[in-house]
Amino acid sequence: MTSAESLSTEDCRITEDAFTRIRDSQGAYFEPVQGLDPNQFAADTLDPKRALEAATVLQRVTALENKCVLEIGAGCGVTHIVWSKRFGIDGTAVEPEGEGFGESAAIARDLIAANGLDPGRIVGATGEDLPFDTDHFDIVYSSNVLEHTADPVQVLREGLRVLKPGGILQIVCPNYLSYFDGHYAAFHPPILSNRFFCWWMKTIYGKDPAFAATIRTEVNPIWARRHLVDIAHTMPIEIIGLGQDVFRERMRVGAVGQWMALGKVGRLVKLAVTLKLNRLAAKLVVALQGWTPLIITVRKGSAP
């Protein structure tokens, strides 16, 4: 069985306390939704290697070393810890308290303190209302948060507002024109409405749709382009990409993460590689706007 000690690396020591709290709260909640053992859920949530994978994607467009970084959605603090120790970032993260998985902020602060860092860097706030000055951060980053926010468009606007001219915003989230939902570990057709998503999970998979009803399933590449173009009317921005390049590369080499329920997708991708259909499949999926994840990457320009 995976333990906190076995997860720990030189970049982040995982404590038994953090492991137990994640296992008994979020892990227990998602067991009937996702079908993942709570111990495995805690291990995947707290694994420092995920933070390094995220850094690899971000560093395709910007260096991380010594940058002033805001993370929208601190989660349990692992990314903040790893990036602080490995890349020397001047990091701040926001995490709402007292709602949803409200203990995440407390777990993050405790884990950050256990790693010898300042727990005050975790700020109780939401992405829709960032308590920071305009033009403050070099990088604004978020992963698996946007689909859970009350107003994802406002999160985009706020993330860009607090970004310095020339800075990079990168938001990683599901693409609901894709074919797999990691929250439910379920394959699905492109989702065009939340009502259909709830119906699909209840009728096809026999899952309680209550959690599905909270997800912003309008988030997809078409949605992202439309709102970024709208934002560009009031703020100079450059859309660098929406994740197609990362998806093509992963399909080319058959590299799909094994976190949470992604093992199901990984097996299909490896089969496509074996049959030498992976490149063709990637072209078709991109043409249909169905790649995953959505990686919204934007550079903020200078005001005229």
Per-residue pLDDT at 36: 82
More confident residue, 271 or 106: 106
Mean pLDDT of all residues belonging to the chain: 91
Across 282-301, average pLDDT: 94
Instruction: Please list the alpha-helical segments (H only) found in the chain.
Output: 4-7, 16-22, 28-34, 38-46, 48-58, 78-87, 103-114, 152-161, 194-203, 221-232, 244-253, 263-274, 278-287
pLDDT exceeds cutoff 80 at 13: yes
Query: For the CA atoms of 143, 146, 64, 2, what is the dihedral angle to 10 degrees?
Result: -10
Q: Specify the amino acid at residue 95.
A: E
Per-residue pLDDT at 290: 93
pLDDT exceeds cutoff 90 at 121: yes
Burial class (CB in 10 A: 0-12, 13-18, 19+), 119: middle
pLDDT exceeds cutoff 50 at 100: no
Strand (E) or helix (H) holding 139 = strand 137-143
Which pair of structure tokens corresponds to residue 141? Answer: 């980053």
CA atoms of 215 and 82, how far apart (whole Å): 28
pLDDT in tens, 190-218: 999 999 999 999 999 999 999 999 999 99
Query: What is the pTM assigned to this prediction?
Result: 0.94
Q: Is the Cβ–Cβ distance between 20 and 41 less than 8 Å?
A: no
Q: Is the Cβ–Cβ distance between 181 and 31 less than 8 Å?
A: no
pLDDT exceeds cutoff 70 at 248: yes
pLDDT exceeds cutoff 80 at 98: no
Across 263-278, average pLDDT: 67
DSSP 8-state code for residue 271: H
For domain 4-175+216-244+291-300, say whether CATH 3.20.20.70 is its number.
no
Per-residue pLDDT at 258: 58
